[in-house]
Amino acid sequence: MTQRYAIVLAAGQGSRMKSKLYKVLHPVAGKPMVGHVIDQVEAAGTEKIVTIVGYGAEKVKDYLGERTEYALQEEQLGTGHAVVQAEMHLKDKEGITLVICGDTPLLTAETLNNLFTYHQAQNAKATILTAHADDPTGYGRVIRNENGSVEKIVEQKDANPSERLVQEINTGTYCFDNRLLFEALSQVGNDNAQGEYYLPDVIEILKNQNETVDAYKMPNEAEGMGVNDRVALAEATLLMRQRINRMHMQNGVTLIDPTTTYIDSEVTVGADTVIEPNVSLKGQTVIGEDCFIGANSEVLNSTLGDGVRVTSSTIKDSIMEKASNIGPYSHLRPNSRVGEAVHIGNFVEIKNATIGATTKVGHLTYVGDADLGKNINIGCGTIFVNYDGKNKHRTTVGDNVFIGCNANLIAPLMVEKNAYIAAGSTITKDVPTESMAIGRVRQENKLDYFNKLPH
């Protein structure tokens, strides 16, 4: 099989984004655009990927890590100049080189494969991936001769009025014969409206050398979209979201209203889970089967076992084991682990804590920096007092403990198993197993008080 290589262009500043963040790092459905591109290029089966970095090079490299090799483009003199930077890595290779931009996040491996296959079937030396655009503004136009064969690409800024009417656009993705690509690039000049070395000029150069150049017009035109500004970013995000939501529904997930369901690209959801409107599932989140994620919930970088119910709650960097439930209006803050069949009710905040199976934290409680055993009942309004103004301290509560309402548990503290804490207590000392702790002012009843007041 012919070797496949890829060059990903990611050195531009992206000035039209008007952003401190480099363009290719802007996320679409939770993943930087260049991450989507590399995912698809990898899936298309390439031997070697070279990413051209320039603006924000260190940030892009930090993000992509070892997945690709890198070539630095010190000055951004155009897409042709960018590809030249990969010469050292690829020059002598025999094979097909895919060139793709870091700002086309919607292209799929399937389309890239179709492009490779078409390129080989036509025995072409260069094949442009093109698409029909209802509004081609901003894109390079694919100019064909009277026989319909490809002549060249003309950039928007260099196009004459009739060329501007052409609706077949260059997606910025191409297959090239690797050696011919670098030979032709040495002939690309910068005498054009932008004073840049354009990669698309390679097409005309090869054509003039009587090499076969062709275009593969993809059926799913929306995939070819390039993101240059925030308007396009929102459009790409919408299309990506629709694609993700459709995939989950096809896998057996019920989305009550897909138009208001926001699922990042890395999230997995088990079958028969039901997701209500206005839910966001973000980052590296894993949701089991038969879960219910109620309206207005947000789950970030968290793992939910099968049969978990979340009602209007926020869960971050945490784990909920199977058949546990939370909400409405509760918050799992980072590093919390909620055990099997645990009940977390309303207005509860949990942070950096573990909660054993079947424990109940029903109402208006703060559990911070604590380890709770199994089958505990935490009364309404209980506060784990974890912070002394300088340091955080931990509390441990053993299995089967009963904590009455409105207790303050002042850490560091150990409440041993089968103990009881009386409602309204402020507990500052460890509580031994099977004992009852009461720490509150005793009640006095002043009799006949009513008659002492003037009436």
Pick the closer one to Ca ion by CB: 168 or 266.
168
User: Is 11 near ligand UD1 (CB under 6 A)?
Assistant: yes
User: Is 9 near ligand UD1 (CB under 6 A)?
Assistant: yes
CB of 167 to ligand UD1, least distance (A): 12
**Total residues at interface with ligand UD1 (CB under 6 A):** 31
User: Is 32 near ligand UD1 (CB under 6 A)?
Assistant: no
CB of 291 to ligand UD1, least distance (A): 38
Query: Can you state the angle between helices 201-208 and 178-185, rounded to 10 degrees?
Result: 100
The CA distance from 348 to 340, in Å, is 18
- Contact between 97 and 80 under an 8 Å Cβ cutoff? The reply is no
C-alpha closest to that of 73 among 205, 197, 226: 197
Name the CA dihedral angle for 144, 148, 149, 150, rounded to a multiple of 10 degrees: 20
CB of 228 to ligand UD1, least distance (A): 5
The CA distance from 101 to 248, in Å, is 28
CB of 54 to ligand UD1, least distance (A): 6
Residues 6+ apart with CB under 8 A from 401: 373, 376, 377, 415, 416, 417, 418, 419, 420, 421
User: Is 196 near Ca ion (CB under 5 A)?
Assistant: no
Q: Which of residues 220-259 bind ligand UD1 (CB under 6 A)?
A: 226, 228
Pick the closer one to ligand UD1 by CB: 236 or 421.
236
Give me the residue whose beta carbon is nearest to ligand UD1.
Answer: 140
Residue among 26, 343, 363, 393 flagged as catalytic: 363
Q: Which of residues 252-281 bind Ca ion (CB under 5 A)?
A: none
Q: Which of residues 212-251 bind Ca ion (CB under 5 A)?
A: 226, 228
Q: Which of residues 142-171 bind Ca ion (CB under 5 A)?
A: none
Pick the closer one to ligand UD1 by CB: 104 or 296.
104
CB of 131 to ligand UD1, least distance (A): 10
The CA distance from 248 to 258, in Å, is 10
**Of the candidate residues 101, 124, 299, 308, the single one contacting ligand UD1 (CB under 6 A):** 101
Q: How far is CA 228 from CA 40, 100, 117, 143, in A?
A: 20, 15, 29, 23
The three-state secondary structure class of 178 is helix
Structure tokens belonging to residue 227: 């993101």
- Contact between 379 and 420 under an 8 Å Cβ cutoff? The reply is no
**How is the beta sheet containing 279-282 ordered, strand by strand?**
261-263, 279-282, 298-300, 314-316, 331-332, 349-351, 366-368, 383-385, 408-410, 426-427
C-alpha closest to that of 46 among 113, 125, 106: 113
Pick the closer one to Ca ion by CB: 155 or 349.
155
Phi and psi at residue 43, in whole multiples of 5°? -65, -25
Pick the closer one to ligand UD1 by CB: 103 or 369.
103
User: Is 284 near ligand UD1 (CB under 6 A)?
Assistant: no
User: Is 19 near ligand UD1 (CB under 6 A)?
Assistant: no
Give me the residue whose beta carbon is nearest to Ca ion.
Answer: 226
- Binding range to ligand UD1, per CB under 6 A, among 56-64, 96-104, 108-116, 285-293: 96-104
Asked if 26 is an active-site residue, the reply is no
**Total residues at interface with Ca ion (CB under 5 A):** 3
User: Is 321 near ligand UD1 (CB under 6 A)?
Assistant: no
Site string for ligand UD1, 41-80 (x = CB under 6 A): -----------x-x------------------x--xxxx-
CB of 2 to ligand UD1, least distance (A): 25
The CA distance from 415 to 434, in Å, is 10
The three-state secondary structure class of 248 is helix
* Residues at the site binding ligand UD1, with contacts judged by CB under 6 A: 9-12, 24, 52, 54, 73, 76-79, 81-82, 101-104, 139-140, 153, 155, 169-172, 198-200, 226, 228
* Residues at the site binding Ca ion, with contacts judged by CB under 5 A: 103, 226, 228
* Residues carrying an active site annotation: 363
